[in-house]
Amino acid sequence: MAEVKSVITRTHIGLDADKVDVPGLYGERYYATDTGITYKWDGTRWRGGYEYIPRPATTHDIDQTALTTDGTWKVDGLILDGIVPVGAVAVNLGLRIIDDTAANWFQVRQNATNAGVTASVTVPAANIEDNAYAVLGIDANRLMDYAGVNDTITTIRVTVLGWFI
């Protein structure tokens, strides 16, 4: 039997909505130029594969000066559309909190409809920081909800570390 020296994979390119009209062979790919999503033909349909795009963040994106912490959820309060591109389905966030009051907290969630998935940080002891890293789903509008304890918190940092597209 002959040894396989190379494998050629065909990639189709077009608009996302047009992929339904493209017949595929098993393993072929379809790249949607308008959304940046690469799909793979599984034998019956195009399946979207998500690729993680890391972001070299040199500083935080949002801090306590841009946040209102009054113990209630701020629906669509984290505006990430200037950072996260169109087509992203999830975002990797870094959260940091420091305060002089133990047990103060800050949380982020995808949205009010998907309230069960939440990332949070809590001050473990006075002036001791807490950090968390979380991957959360994101809506097409790239807005997320947040809430913080009803107190003035010394330091809150939200950093976008990357996203899945």
The residue-averaged pLDDT of 44-49 equals 74
- % of the chain at pLDDT higher than 70: 93
Q: Are 121 and 160 in contact (CB under 8 A)?
A: no
Q: pLDDT at residue 63 above 80? A: yes
Distance of CA 55 to the CA centre of its chain: 11
The model carries a pTM of: 0.72
Domain boundaries, the chain: 11-49, 53-164
What is the predicted pLDDT for the residue at 114?
66
pLDDT of the residue at 44? 79
Residue 132 CA to residue 113 CA, distance in Å, equals 23
Q: How far apart are CA 47 and CA 162, in angstroms?
A: 22
Q: What is the mean pLDDT of residues 42-55?
A: 78
**∠ Cα 12 17 23 (to 5°):** 45
31 vs 161 pLDDT, higher one: 161
Record: fold of 53-164: Jelly Rolls (2.60.120)
For the record, the structure tokens of 157 come out as 């940092």
